[in-house]
A = this chain, B = another copy of it.
Amino acid sequence: MAVRHIHDTKSSLNDEHKIVDRIYSAVMQQALAPMTKLSESTICESFGVGRMKARRALLLLASRGIVELRSNRGAFVACPDQKDADEVFEARIHIEPSLTAKAAESIDEQGLETLNEHINKEKQARQSENRQEIIRLSGEFHVLVATVSGNAFLTRTLRELVTRTSLIVAMFGSGRPSCCRDDEHEQILEAIEARNVKRASKLTREHLEHIRLDLDFTRPHKAEPDLVNLLRAD
């Protein structure tokens, strides 16, 4: 279970995981907007798989709250409402500060290296104003903190929460440029490097609250789908 299927080189499980990962990434970097329809045929053609695997992938995505399956209508990228947003942020504020704290306690040199490299990538992306890359990396930082903790369960959980956060931001983001003032990530990393557990935890909580405060639930939700063919597998 821990190491799942090392020798499954062409197995169906990996196929489905690839599809799921790809769609996760697309959602995380807001290349797939809420409400976008993901028809079975689209998935089949994009990834060169049969209908069965496409449907299984969509089922997995639905079980993770990334897409919504409607009977006889198909799969759509999920449209979180305010209640969903509250849930996601509450969960993140429950989980992430203590995760960052743990990282500050027990991270090793290699972990620090990984996070530093990531921060550099973020800076680079921000300089070149590559919006999608900025968004993707910004979310991935949080997943990476879980990854370096070495806990696969928490990593998966964070991945789901971060991806759903992307959808929430796509729905309710105020769009103000302040949205991504991500020197906060750098400060968090500094606190981790300084082994300052309290500060790492506190900065993480504040960071999450900043993201939440940038949401605007009063305005009509942006939810209109642009037809997307960005999924083509290679």
- Which chain A residues have a beta carbon within 8 Å of chain B's beta carbons? 1-2, 4-5, 8, 11-13, 56, 59-60, 63-65, 68-71, 78-81, 83-84, 87-88, 90-91, 94-95, 98-99, 102, 151-154, 157, 161
Contact = CB atoms under 8 A, between A and B. Distances in A.
Nearest to A90: B151
B153 A1 contact: no
- Summarize A's interface: helix, strand, loop or mixed: helix
Residue of A1, A63, A80, A102 with most partner-chain B CB within 10 A: A1
Contact of A60 (B13, B59, B68, B83): B59
B71 A11 contact: yes
Contact of A1 (B8, B81, B95): B81
Contacts of A87: 151-154
A133 to B, nearest CB: 27
A167 to B, nearest CB: 9
A2 B84 contact: yes
Given A59-B56, A63-B63, A13 B71 contact: yes
A154 B89 CA distance: 11
Contact of A95 (B63, B65, B94): B94
A45 to B, nearest CB: 22
A79 B56 CA distance: 24
Residue of A63, A102, A152 with most partner-chain B CB within 10 A: A63
A204 B83 CA distance: 27
